[in-house]
């Protein structure tokens, strides 16, 4: 029994040719993809050079200005805070001085008024003629 292998060999030859063609197509697709990749990268680099680089420079300049302005604002804020703190301290100190000064003047005036009142009361009640009896309502500081 003799087997005829011519059909099998023919089919194997066709499959080999198709495999070679598939390999050539894959190589062509790879080369085409590489060429497309190069063109896209060239386009991206060109776009970056023409569009993105100037925008980036402007943004960096704006950020530099913002940084300078924020530093100035911070410095001025510290100055204003220091000035307000100093002013508040001086206002508190001045208020204390005024309070003590007014209190001293009022105490002096009150003492004079109490003295005059005591003299008038003494003269009107008639105890001022030789009798030294103090008013029992008077305290040690002259208050009634």
Which token pair is 26?
């894959």
Mean pLDDT estimate for the chain: 87
Residue 136 has pLDDT above 60, yes or no: no
- DSSP secondary structure string for all residues of 46-57: HHIIIIIHHHHH
Which token pair is 95?
């208020």
* CA distance linking residue 22 with residue 25, whole number of Å: 5
CB 142 within 8 A of CB 108: no
Q: How confident is the model at residue 77 (pLDDT cuts 50, 70, 90)?
A: very high
Which token pair is 135?
């008013």
* CA distance linking residue 48 with residue 109, whole number of Å: 87
Dump pLDDT digits (tens) for 44-75. 999 988 888 889 899 999 999 999 999 999 99
Averaged over 25-41, what is the pLDDT? 97
Residue 127 has pLDDT above 70, yes or no: no
Averaged over 89-105, what is the pLDDT? 91
CB 118 within 8 A of CB 135: yes
* CA distance linking residue 13 with residue 15, whole number of Å: 5
Q: Reduced to 3 DSSP states, what percent helix, strand and coil does the chain have, rounded to the nearest 5?
A: 85, 0, 15
- DSSP secondary structure string for all residues of 69-97: HHHHHHHHHHHHHHHHHHHHHHHHHHHHH
Query: Residue 1's pLDDT is what?
Result: 63
């Amino acid at each position: 029994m003799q087997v005829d292998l011519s059909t099998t060999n023919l089919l194997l030859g066709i499959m080999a040719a198709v495999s070679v063609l598939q390999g050539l197509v894959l190589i062509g697709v790879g080369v085409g993809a590489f060429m497309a990749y190069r063109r896209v990268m060239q386009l991206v680099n060109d776009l970056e050079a023409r569009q993105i680089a100037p925008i980036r420079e402007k943004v960096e300049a704006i950020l530099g200005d913002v940084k300078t302005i924020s530093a100035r604002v911070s410095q001025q804020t510290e100055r204003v805070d220091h000035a307000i703190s100093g002013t508040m301290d001086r206002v508190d100190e001045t208020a204390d001085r005024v309070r003590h000064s007014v209190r001293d003047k009022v105490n002096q005036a009150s003492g004079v008024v109490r003295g005059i009142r005591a003299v008038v009361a003494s003269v009107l009640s008639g105890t001022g003629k030789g009798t030294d009896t103090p008013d029992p309502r008077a305290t040690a500081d002259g208050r009634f």
